[in-house]
């Protein structure tokens, strides 16, 4: 397994600390007046989701994580288990509710996603950046309520709730940004 020297540290790097994979979410280079350069890093645990902050001196190194991303397809949900299929070799993976986290809100049967594997075992899932979901239920908009930025909760086909503009009706298809969970636009049918 390879290593990364401090000169190679950057946001988005996947490293291994104490046998667990971490994603470098922040990296700041600090050069004090005297002494070695410092690299202040914020790291997110890819298995448990926690974050830690570490400072490394120039010349230090970190082991690269054996993390692989693969295209997969969401097949179905059975109780608290989510089943995905690798698109390249048709192998099926089961992930728990904790591993899927909030991504369940966007998962539709047959949807393509990114599956993250650590040492061959699935650890998390990343849905596409934007998904189109059918509105299953929402309160009707109040007639004459045309003020800008008026929102209401809408329930979509995945049983998740999002805030959408007041003009959205049942049966509409809305586009949601999966990174922020925010409404983007109504999709024309």
Global confidence as pTM:
0.73
CA-to-CA distance for 163 and 152, rounded, in angstroms? 5
CB 112 within 8 A of CB 73: yes
CA 145, 149, 153, 157 torsion-angle sign: positive
Question: For 153-170, how does the pLDDT look when each residue is reduced to its tens digit (9 = 90+)?
Answer: 999 999 999 999 888 899
Confidence of residue 13 (pLDDT cuts 50, 70, 90): confident
Predicted confidence at residue 24, as pLDDT, reads 87
Residue 8, SS3? helix
Domains of the chain from N-terminus onward: 3-64 (2.30.30.30), 67-126 (2.40.50.140), 130-187 (2.40.50.140)
Residue 126 tokens, joined:
């990343």
Predicted confidence at residue 141, as pLDDT, reads 72
Confidence of residue 111 (pLDDT cuts 50, 70, 90): very high
The DSSP H or E segment spanning 97 is: helix 97-100
CB 141 within 8 A of CB 154: no
């Amino acid at each position: 397994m390879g290593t990364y020297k401090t000169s190679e540290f950057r946001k988005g790097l996947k490293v291994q600390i104490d046998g667990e994979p971490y994603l470098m979410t922040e990296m700041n280079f600090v050069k004090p007046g005297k002494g070695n350069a410092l690299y202040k890093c914020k790291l997110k645990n890819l298995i448990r989701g926690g974050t830690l902050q570490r400072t490394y001196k120039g010349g230090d190194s970190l082991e690269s994580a054996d993390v692989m991303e693969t295209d997969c397809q969401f097949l179905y949900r059975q109780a608290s288990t989510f089943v995905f299929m690798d698109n390249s070799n048709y192998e099926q993976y089961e992930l728990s509710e904790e591993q899927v986290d909030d991504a369940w809100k966007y998962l539709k049967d047959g949807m393509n996603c990114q599956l993250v594997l650590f040492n061959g075992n699935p650890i998390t899932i990343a849905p596409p950046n934007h998904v189109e979901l059918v509105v299953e239920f929402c309160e009707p908009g109040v007639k004459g309520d045309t003020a800008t930025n008026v929102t209401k909760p809408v329930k979509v086909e995945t049983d998740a709730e999002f805030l959408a503009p007041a003009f959205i009706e049942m049966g509409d298809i809305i586009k949601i940004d999966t990174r922020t969970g925010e409404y983007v636009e109504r999709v024309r049918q």
